[in-house]
Amino acid sequence: MKKRFWVIAGVLLIIIGIQVKNAVFIEYKVEGVSMNPTFQEGNELLINRFAHHFKTIGRFDIVLFKGPEKDIFIKRVIGLPGETLRYEDDQLYIDEKKVKEPYLDDLKSVTAGGDLTGDFTLKEVTGEEKVPENHYFVLGDNRIHSFDSRHFGFVSDQDIVGIVTERIDKK
């Protein structure tokens, strides 16, 4: 009788664990080249759907969100609420301070001396001086081939589906 109880309890715990995992995490398959070289088309990612409710989204976090026409996008957070932002000579400035983007080093090395990110100010691309409260400015890592905040504006925190926690395919 005791053995049967522990078998049933074990099975129930496994089922509950699977349900909790499925409620918290979703899998996402990368489409397109906008996040190269960080993620390639076809990479499978694990997205935490609740992380942004319990932790502040930080600069350079990679988020999954609903974009224009409710399409799903994956991009890197560059500008946080209340910040000014601009690019000049391929250099990011946040609140007029230089900010390094080390995740772009490999891609910059193959652009043959050309800029990866063209010059712009937040005002030029969004009409706003600062990132609004509860919004983010996002860019794809492959700046030349990315449809991002330069084109569709800010991303509301209400449109964020989750934060990328890891790549789960091992290709």
Residue 71 C-beta-side C-alpha neighbours within 13 Å: 9
Which residue, chain included where needed, has tokens 């996402």? 28
Could you tell me how many residues make up the chain? 171
Q: Which of 69, 70, 65, 77 is nearest to 28 (CA)?
A: 65
Say which of 3, 21, 34, 171 is annotated catalytic. 34
Say which of 75, 130, 146, 149 is annotated catalytic. 75
Active-site residue, 34 included: yes
Which DSSP category does 138 fall into?
Answer: E
**3 state SS of 121:** strand
Sheet hosting strand 72-79, strand order edge to edge: 25-29, 44-48, 160-167, 62-66, 72-79, 135-139, 155-156
Residue 96, classified by CB atoms within 10 Å of its CB into exposed (0-12), middle (13-18) or buried (19+), is exposed
Active-site residue, 146 included: no
Q: Which residues are catalytic?
A: 34, 75
